[in-house]
Structure 1
Amino acid sequence: MHTRLTWICHGPTSANREGRFPLNEPLEQSAATDTAALAERLQRADHVKSSPALAALQTAEILNLTAAADPKLADMDYGRWKGRPLADLQAKEPDALIQWMTDPDAAPHGGESLSKLQARIAGWMEEQQAFDGHIVAIANATVIRAAILHVMKAPPSSFWLADIEPLALLRMSFDGRRWALRFSR
């Protein structure tokens, strides 16, 4: 059994550029060119799965990939913080923002905590272990960070240490015993 998993962070959106928690925005106009260039680096996939987010589905379309939307790959539920700029939260709710960033079980926004997101993504990855082949998963940076922590068995405090840019590509593999990060050209 050998599962290969290629994560692709969806293309840039206005939320990325504006430093705010995402809504369900489309890709920015400039995303098409950069996304198409990424297609040349992809290997053939047996399955393509995507977050149900519009930007992820549009990224798959530009890459000429037929993706099945999987709700388990959805971004974190940011509750009442959806659409709000990080700078606004730093000014108006600094204690809640610090609590959310330092306590993985906290959800002061009324949505999903980091620990619940990590458990959801770890569960999704465990489901993929049974598949012998190559899976491409298109999601947002938060989901990919959770996957990295799962593979590395890193503490929740490590969540904020991985910067995932739009259209970043990350490979992982499962050899029947463990997940590993794969670095290649």
Structure 2
Amino acid sequence: MSSLRVVLVSHGATEATRRAGFPLDEPLLRTAVEDPGPGFGRVDAALCGPSLRCAQTAAVLGIDAEPDERLRDLDHGDWSGRTLDEVAVADPAGMARWLTDPESAPHGGESVADLARRVGGWLDDRSLELARTVAVTHPAVIRAAIGHALGAGPAAFWRVDIAPLSRTTLRGGPGRWTLRWIVPGTG
């Protein structure tokens, strides 16, 4: 049985990652990618989330990545552009629901469960012709992919911390993913 390899690279640091905020489509900080680290070896497909920060990270890493809409960040709706602390003060009940109920989206955006379904579908759609995929994406997407690989689903989402520029490698294929390793990033 053939195996796929998917390397998920978390985008570099932005103003939102530095201030614990819900991001807008913002650029990388100027110092976000000082050392791009090792290359990726053979790559059959290079993808990235459709945001500016993912495209910029891919470019700095020397990856000619094609945007993929299913690798977009979790939609934070009304909370976009605000910090966690600001939202916790303005909408404590909504924040509590969002952190404890994966199906909840009180902010007018996307629920963690919806994100998990989207990312799980993307993973399970990987093709053997694209056996080695590198995707520059968002920490939330990588958390959802890890939850899918481990069979833990959205319940595991808040149990995983993804640093900027970390690399998460998954092996396997539809319905049989394995977390191979996580290389720490800069966070």
TM range (shorter): over 0.9
Distance 1:111 1:7 in 2: 23
Instruction: List structure 1 runs of 4+ shifted beyond 3 angstroms.
Output: 129-132
Q: Is the 8 A contact 1:6 1:170 kept in 2?
A: yes
**For structure 1, which segment, 149-158 or 18-27, has the greater mean C-alpha deviation from structure 2 after superposition?**
149-158
| Structure 1 residue 2 displacement after superposition | 1.9
Q: 1:73 to 1:126 in 2, by over 3 A?
A: same
Aligned length: 182
Higher helix proportion, which one? 1
Distance 2:140 2:47 in 1: 16
Structure with higher RCO (Cα < 8 A, 6+ apart): 1
Match of 2:56 among 55, 58, 77: 58
Distance 2:136 2:77 in 1: 22
Structure 1 gaps, min length 5? none
Cα root mean square deviation, aligned: 1.6
Is 1:119 paired with 2:120? no
Instruction: Provide Cα deviations, 1:102-138, integer angstroms capped at 9, x if missing partner.
Output: 1111110011111110000001011114445200011
Distance 2:112 2:158 in 1: 11
Q: Is the 8 A contact 2:7 2:134 kept in 1?
A: yes
* 1:2 corresponds to: 3
Q: 1:178 to 1:84 in 2, by over 3 A?
A: same
Distance 2:127 2:176 in 1: 9
Distance 2:12 2:90 in 1: 29
Residue aligned with 2:34, SS:
helix
Structure 2 gaps, min length 5? none
Instruction: Provide Cα deviations, 1:133-152, integer angstroms capped at 9, x if missing partner.
Output: 20001101000000000000
Q: Is the 8 A contact 1:22 1:83 kept in 2?
A: yes
Distance 1:9 1:95 in 2: 30
Distance 2:32 2:57 in 1: 8
Q: 1:88 to 1:33 in 2, by over 3 A?
A: same
Q: 1:184 to 1:143 in 2, by over 3 A?
A: closer
Residue aligned with 1:49, SS:
strand
Residue aligned with 1:101, SS:
helix
| Structure 1 residue 183 displacement after superposition | 2.5
Among all aligned residue pairs of Structure 1 and Structure 2, give the percentage whose two residues are the same amino acid: 38
TM-score normalised over the length of structure 2? 0.92
